[in-house]
Amino acid sequence: MQDCSKPRRLVYLVAALFMAAGVIGCATAETSAPAGPPVQAAVQAERTAAPVQVQRPAHQSPGMVAYYPPPGRMDFCGEHVPLENQEVMERFDKEFTLVVYNHAQIYRWLKRRDGYFQWMEERLRRLNLPEDLKYVALAESEPPLSTADRKRWAEMRNDFERSPESALQYLGDLHRSFRSWSLALAAYCCGEKRIMDESRAQGQSDFYKMMLPQETERYVFKVLAIKAVLSDPARYGYELPKGARQR
């Protein structure tokens, strides 16, 4: 009797295991069964009502700043500026870039341009001087970067504000002395004696081949950059609306 009962208990145990496996399988099937039409509709409505919003990165700008290359050819007061020389072009390009993207300053100049240029051009014609010198006065509107040169800049600015004709006449005298408008501008910035001394020491009378104080070199190229932009502002994206000009 005991020998017969052991196989019977084993059969019961196997049967119980199969029944348990069947129950678990049914529960899993019910859980993974696809949702009916009402459930699918609810899920779809929830997704439609709350779309995912994508955040734009903080460093990503909505548009790109336009790039304006410097002019490849240029003259000042009738004198050729050797922009074909790579070193000269790099020195010019530095000041051109600082000027062409200085939006606030350029619009200030453009607002005054018509009345101011007309006034300045009349004086230049009366003194028999080239019209490009009108850009020199605009270069005085911003102080130099070097603190050491600010005193000289203040004196030059006062020259144009108190007696523009005297300042223009002085530029004419410097041109007669150096026979070069670029050297005349350099001498106007750092002094006639300094240019004469440097010219003798370097054995050179070409501004673009001389080594001069940094502020002096930058001053001359800044005047050239102002002329490049203001002589054709629309080329560089600047246009004043009607009625914005000042007299």
* Strand ranges, E, within the chain: 75-76, 79-80
Averaged pLDDT for residues 206-211: 97
Which phi and psi (to 5°) does residue 51 adopt? -65, 155
More confident residue, 138 or 9: 138
What's the confidence (pLDDT) of residue 90?
Answer: 97
Averaged pLDDT for residues 234-244: 86
Categorize the per-residue pLDDT at 100 as very low, low, confident or very high, splitting at 50, 70 and 90: very high
Averaged pLDDT for residues 231-238: 94
Report the run of H or E that residue 30 belongs to, with start and end.
helix 2-32
Distant-in-sequence, close-in-space partners of 204: CB < 8 Å, separation ≥ 6:
210
What is the 8-class DSSP label of residue 234? G
Check: CB of residue 233 under 8 Å from CB of residue 208: no
Beta-bridged to residue 76, according to DSSP, are 79
CB atoms within 10 A of CB 32: 7
Categorize the per-residue pLDDT at 241 as very low, low, confident or very high, splitting at 50, 70 and 90: confident
Averaged pLDDT for residues 162-166: 77
Which pTM was predicted? Answer: 0.69
